[in-house]
Structure 1
Amino acid sequence: MTKNPGDVPAPPPAGTGKGPAVSRQEFDALFATVRTWGRWAPADRGAWNRVTPDHVRRAAALVRSGTVVPMARPWNTVPGPDNSKPALHYMSDLGDVDPAEPSTHKDFIAVDYHGKAVSHLDALSHVAYRGQLYDGRIARELIDAGGARFGAVSALGALVTKGVLLDLPAVLGGKWLEPGRAVHAEDIVAAEKALDVTIGDGDAVLLRSGSFRRRQELGAWDPDTASAGLHVDAMPLLAERGIALLSGDGDSDVRPSPVEGLHSPVHALAVAAMGVPLLDNLDLEALSAAGAETGRYEFLLLVAPLNIPGGTGSPVNPVAVL
Structure 2
Amino acid sequence: MTGNPGDAPAPPPDRTGNGPAVSRAEFDALFDSVRTWGRWTPADRGAWNRVTAEHVRRATALVRSGTVVPLARPWDTAPGPDNPFPALHYMSDLGDVETPEPSAHKDFIGVDYHGKAVSHLDALSHIAYRGHLYDGRAAREAVDAGGARFGAVSTLGPLVTRGVLLDLPAVLGGPWLEPGRAVHAADIVAAEQSLDVTIGEGDAVLLRSGSPRRRRELGAWDPSAASAGLHVDAMPLLAERGIALLGGDGDGDVRPSPVDGVHSPVHALAIAAMGVPLLDNLDLEALSAASAGTGRYAFLLLVAPLNIPGGTGSPVTPVAVL
Give the shorter-chain TM-score range. over 0.9
In the TM superposition, 1:50-65 aligns within 5 A as 50-65=50-65
- SS of 1:221's equivalent in the other structure is coil
Matched with 1:80 is 80
In the TM superposition, 1:284-299 aligns within 5 A as 284-299=284-299
- Asked if the contact 1:229/1:252 (under 8 Å) is kept, the reply is yes
Matched with 2:148 is 148
- Asked if the contact 1:247/1:280 (under 8 Å) is kept, the reply is yes
- Asked if the contact 1:15/1:177 (under 8 Å) is kept, the reply is no
- Asked if the contact 1:181/1:227 (under 8 Å) is kept, the reply is yes
Number of positions where the alignment pairs a residue of Structure 1 with one of Structure 2:
322
- Asked if the contact 2:10/2:226 (under 8 Å) is kept, the reply is no
- Asked if the contact 2:5/2:221 (under 8 Å) is kept, the reply is no
* 2:174 pairs with 1:174: yes
Matched with 1:254 is 254
- Asked if the contact 1:5/1:78 (under 8 Å) is kept, the reply is no
Structure 1 counterpart of 2:171, one-letter code? V
Matched with 1:159 is 159
Q: How many Å separate the matches in 1 of 2:75 and 2:225?
A: 23
- SS of 1:161's equivalent in the other structure is strand
Matched with 2:110 is 110
Matched with 2:319 is 319
**Cα pair distance change 1:125/1:98, threshold 3 Å:** farther
- SS of 1:272's equivalent in the other structure is helix
Structure 1 counterpart of 2:221, one-letter code? W
Q: How many Å separate the matches in 2 of 1:20 and 1:259?
A: 10
- Asked if the contact 1:12/1:221 (under 8 Å) is kept, the reply is no
Q: How many Å separate the matches in 1 of 2:226 and 2:5?
A: 17
Matched with 2:302 is 302
User: Which range is displaced more, 11-20 or 187-196?
Assistant: 11-20
Matched with 2:183 is 183
Matched with 2:193 is 193
Shift of 1:92: 0.4
Structure 2 counterpart of 1:257, one-letter code? S
Deviations 1:226-279 (A, max 9, x none): 000000000000000000000000000000000000000000000000000000
Matched with 1:208 is 208
- Asked if the contact 1:161/1:203 (under 8 Å) is kept, the reply is yes
Shift of 1:10: 3.8
- Asked if the contact 2:162/2:301 (under 8 Å) is kept, the reply is yes
- The unaligned stretches of length 5 or more in structure 1 are none
Deviations 1:178-211 (A, max 9, x none): 0000000000000000000000000000000000
Structure 2 counterpart of 1:92, one-letter code? S
Q: How many Å separate the matches in 2 of 1:97 and 1:312?
A: 38
Structure 1 counterpart of 2:302, one-letter code? L
- SS of 1:190's equivalent in the other structure is helix
**Cα pair distance change 1:98/1:24, threshold 3 Å:** farther
Q: How many Å separate the matches in 1 of 2:62 and 2:91?
A: 41
- Give the TM-score normalised by structure 1: 0.99
- SS of 2:207's equivalent in the other structure is strand
- The unaligned stretches of length 5 or more in structure 2 are none
Q: How many Å separate the matches in 2 of 1:220 and 1:270?
A: 27
Matched with 1:224 is 224
- Asked if the contact 1:251/1:281 (under 8 Å) is kept, the reply is yes
Shift of 1:14: 1.8
Shift of 1:59: 0.2
Q: How many Å separate the matches in 2 of 1:318 and 1:48?
A: 15
Matched with 1:46 is 46
Shift of 1:9: 1.8
Query: Following superposition, which runs of at least 4 residues in structure 1 exceed 3 angstroms of deviation?
Result: none
Structure 1 counterpart of 2:145, one-letter code? A
Shift of 1:98: 4.5
Structure 1 counterpart of 2:36, one-letter code? T
Structure 2 counterpart of 1:17, one-letter code? G
Deviations 1:61-111 (A, max 9, x none): 000000000000000000000000000000000011352111110000000
- Asked if the contact 2:87/2:112 (under 8 Å) is kept, the reply is yes
Matched with 1:126 is 126
Deviations 1:208-229 (A, max 9, x none): 0000100000000000100000
Q: How many Å separate the matches in 1 of 2:268 and 2:13?
A: 26
Matched with 1:89 is 89
Identity %: 85
Structure 1 counterpart of 2:147, one-letter code? G
Structure 1 counterpart of 2:61, one-letter code? A
Cα RMSD, aligned residues only: 0.7
Shift of 1:15: 4.1
Structure 2 counterpart of 1:268, one-letter code? A
- Asked if the contact 2:35/2:274 (under 8 Å) is kept, the reply is yes
Shift of 1:20: 1.0
- SS of 1:166's equivalent in the other structure is strand
Q: How many Å separate the matches in 1 of 2:180 and 2:120?
A: 22
Matched with 1:240 is 240
